[in-house]
Amino acid sequence: MTGVRGRATLGGVSNVIPFAATSAPRAAQVAFTRAELDRIMSLYGRMVAAGQWRDYALELGPKVASFSAFRRAAENPDVRLVKDPALRSRQGEWVLYGEAGVILKRGHELASVLAVLERRLLKLL
């Protein structure tokens, strides 16, 4: 064996071992745009400064993208913001879930959905 990856030497003859090619194309992934992520992280930073949140998680999948904010790392998320482009023409692609999984707000615009959390932040200050 040589140090070259994917190449094996057997009795002085070099054999190239091809890697298995994937036959199915990779599915498109839903993600937050830079402006959306800036808006979300700005709110997250203010909530951390207010002492309400301590951790967050991002999940990017083929159908939805979600942002979860936690009071402590070992519990259920305090809020979960989900972007679902399949609902864009119906109820709106943004959904804000509370800690118990209850829908707090649904809408077409990120700003209107985040307004619920921004009002909560104003009450804290």
pLDDT digits (tens, 9 = 90+) for 2-14: 444 555 555 556 6
For the chain, the distance separating the N- and C-terminal CA atoms, rounded to the nearest angstrom, is 66
**Contact at 8 Å (CB) between 113 and 107?**
yes
Here the contacts of 110-113 (C-beta below 8 Å, separation 24 or greater) are: 110/36, 110/39, 110/40, 111/39, 113/81
More confident residue, 116 or 74: 116
pTM: 0.73
Q: pLDDT > 90: what percent of the chain?
A: 54
**Chain position carrying tokens 């104003």:** 122
Count helices and strands in the chain by DSSP H and E runs: 2, 7
What are the residue boundaries of the structural domains of the chain, listed by start? 34-124
